[in-house]
Structure 1
Amino acid sequence: MVQTTFKNNAVTLIGNEVKVGDVAPDFTVLANDLSPVSLKDSEGKIRLFSVVPSLDTGVCDAQTRKFNEVAAELGDNVIIYTVSMDLPFAQKRWCGAAGIDAVQTVSDHRDASFGEAYGVHIQHLRLLTRAIFVVDTEGKVAYVEYVPEATDHPNYEAAIEAVKALTK
């Protein structure tokens, strides 16, 4: 079981811990236009899921901007998603204001489907804890990072290297 804190307070995560080598669990989240998005929609691509508590916080903002910056160097066969519980409307507004154009923000607010499938749903806060998942073209989990303290940055370099290793 993943041990995580949020602002140095222990939190309970709902869902199953995902490990390298697992078949990536499916989910349904909402795009900014309210259309459903699932894992199946990006079959055959390498997927990086950047999971954040809320885009309106400093670390989540920086995390999404970082992956937006490196997206072009990762190639056309890589899709980067930022997953949060923020409403799709707020995500769209934030992306416009931040100039985010290479990362797709998706909302888990409606069903907490991603949060529970990947074990990142913080039970009493209805937020997602910070995590990174990389899924290969075959649908297998190739990289996992559950950030121990949800307000800390993930290991960007390790996640990017995991994606690059799959593109070779």
Structure 2
Amino acid sequence: MASVTFKGNPVTLLGNEVKVGDQAPDFTVLANDLSEVTLNDSKGQVRLISVVPSLDTGVCDAQTRRFNEEAANLGNVKILTVSVDLPFAQKRWCGAAGIENVQTLSDHRELSFGQAYGVAIKELRLLTRAVFVVDSNDKVTYTEYVSEATNHPNYEAAVEAAKQAN
């Protein structure tokens, strides 16, 4: 399992670590309108999945804004941001931040995504910071579990991986 800290303290990640070459695990999360969303809903597309603890924090805010900006350069790549924030809060945040190129999804109900991708923090019931790229055949082509959850991911590597998978 990936070794991760949150504000310098080691945390326990639930679920299985996802590795490059793996078949992307399915999940069920909620869209901002409370409808269920699964991996299969974007089948046939390249997906960049940005995972954040909470949109209401500085690094998570910056990460989501950065991938929103990068979307213009990524062509047919669908960008998903997953957190345990409530769908209502995600919708409010997106409206205030002008986010239009990223779909925010809530894993608050079952931690389905968090456990499937090994990013659920047991002690905090949050998701750790991570980025995954899943190609149009549902193969994982890039993973980054950020070792300190309050740090930024490697944006350039994730964007390049999404371009290569496209």
TM range (shorter): over 0.9
How many correspondences in the alignment? 166
Unaligned ranges ≥5, structure 1: none
Could you say which residue in structure 1 is the equivalent of 2:97? 98
What's 2:146 paired with?
Answer: 147
For structure 2, the 5+ residue unaligned runs are none
Q: Which residue number corresponds to residue 60 of structure 1?
A: 60
Q: CA RMSD in A?
A: 0.4
Offset of 1:147 from its aligned partner?
0.1
Structure 1 residue 73, shift from structure 2 partner: 1.2
Superposed structure 1 runs of 4+ greater than 3 Å apart: none
What SS does the aligned partner of 1:101 have? coil
Matches for 1:33-112 after TM superposition, within 5 Å: 33-75=33-75, 77-112=76-111
Deviation of the 1:131 alpha carbon: 0.1
The one-letter amino acid paired with 2:152 is H
Deviation per residue, 1:90-121 (Å, 9 max, x gap): 00000000000000000000010000000000
For the residue of structure 2 that corresponds to 1:2, the secondary structure is coil
Q: 1:52-111 CA deviation, whole Å, 9 max, x = no partner?
A: 000000000000000000101101x21000000000000000000000000000000001
Partner of 2:135: 136
Cα distance in 2, alignment partners of residues 19 and 73 from structure 1: 25
TM-score with structure 1 setting the length:
0.98
Q: Which residue of 1 aligns with 2:165?
A: 166
Which TM-score applies when normalising by structure 2? 0.99
